[in-house]
Amino acid sequence: MQTTTDNANQETNGNKEPWLAASFSLLVPGAGQWYCGSWRTGMTLILLWVLLSVGLVASLVMAQVPTVAFVAVLLGYVTLWIGAIVAAFRVAKRGNTADFESARTQGKNPWRAVFYTLVVPGVGHLYLGRWFIGGVVVTLAGALAGHQGSYSGIALLALRAVAGFHAYFATGDDRPSLRPALIALAAVAIGIPAMNHALVWLAVRPYVCEVYRMGGNSMAPTIRNGTRVVSNKLIYQGQGPAAGDIVILTPPDHPLVSDRTVVCHRIAATGGQTVQVREGLVWIDGECREPRGTPHRSLSSKVISKYSAPYSAYGVTEPYRIPEGCYFVLGDNRINGLDSRCYGAIPGEAIVGKVVRVLWPLNTPPLYGHKGP
């Protein structure tokens, strides 16, 4: 244990653990530089990180921002993040004495195990040769990451914190002089993700934007089963939905609706207009007028839908006047869709937000035609 004692003595002489610096910057770009004493660089990186985070969300929800610009902001964000980690490691290493560097590289480095654990829980244990527990933690982390929900995110956060502590002490290196750093890192590792998690679930998802994984093919070929879309929930604060908008909505309580999970449809007509669906085509106020952006493929079939009973009740075969404040929505896949042809116009309160972007797959057709939203 002489090496541990030597390290403990040398840490009071300005030496810094490079993997600890990298871990801080992994959690908050610039925090590792702050730990190394580079206050100005650390603060600059933190401000850039905040600005890029805001820009990333803004470019994600603004339909006017092209996908190329969004990808550019995303690449800038990732580059800043990785660059801050690498720079923090190098700054810490450059300021250390040769004896300290030689001592810390002997055997398994506990801070390296912690860094790996923060990236993927369980990998730090694999680095230490703890194959069984590492495999169990990696599997559990993968299961939590693949499960959508607030509780799974909290559980993943707790798993990462516990695994990080265990990975550190599994090396048998318990230097008293580094306990404050371990506590500080644990506070950042728990506090920052917890704040982000709370911000997303309490503010961003309910009021700003949300990513949905759509089920079914009622909007094919525009949006197919499994497509991940971004819904802007702020866009209708100043103005109401318009014909052609693809919206996320909660289906009404209707005998034909067995699942009231949110769906997406295209608005065909708005309150006060008269709508009729004839031979697969939409007629608005007596004129054949398809919603903006409707793909031509969905207009080729003369079959309206497999649901036939409610047609007369909602004026599909006869002109149907939409109540004020309501919207008539249709799926782009006219031959296989449960929409306003079956349950009538929906109230504005049922609309959750407007679909502004497709995250996956990348080869999805334009949502609103080539002219954009």
Per residue of the chain (373 residues), give pLDDT as tens: 444 444 444 454 678 999 999 999 999 999 999 999 999 999 999 999 999 999 988 888 887 788 788 889 999 999 999 999 999 999 999 989 988 888 888 888 889 999 999 999 999 999 999 999 999 999 999 998 877 666 777 888 888 888 988 898 888 766 555 667 767 777 777 777 777 777 877 888 888 888 888 888 888 888 888 899 999 998 888 788 999 999 999 888 766 666 678 889 999 999 999 988 877 678 899 888 888 877 765 444 444 444 443 444 444 677 888 999 999 998 888 777 788 888 888 999 999 999 998 888 877 777 776 544 5
Identify the structural domains of the chain with CATH numbers, from first to last: 2-207 (no CATH), 214-360 (2.10.109.10)
Closest-CA residue to 328 (of 284, 280, 364) = 284
Tokens of 122: 């369980």
Maximum alpha-carbon separation in the chain: 90
| CA gap 86, 24 in Å, rounded | 11
CA 236 to chain CA centroid, Å, is 21
CA pair distance 341, 335, nearest whole angstrom? 11
* Residue 276, beta-bridge partner list: 283
Tracing tokens 């008539």 back to the chain, one arrives at 328
Whether the upstream peptide bond of residue 221 has omega within 30° of 0, thus cis, is yes
Please, what sign has the CA dihedral across residues 317, 318, 322, 323?
Answer: negative
Q: What's the one-letter identity of residue 332?
A: D
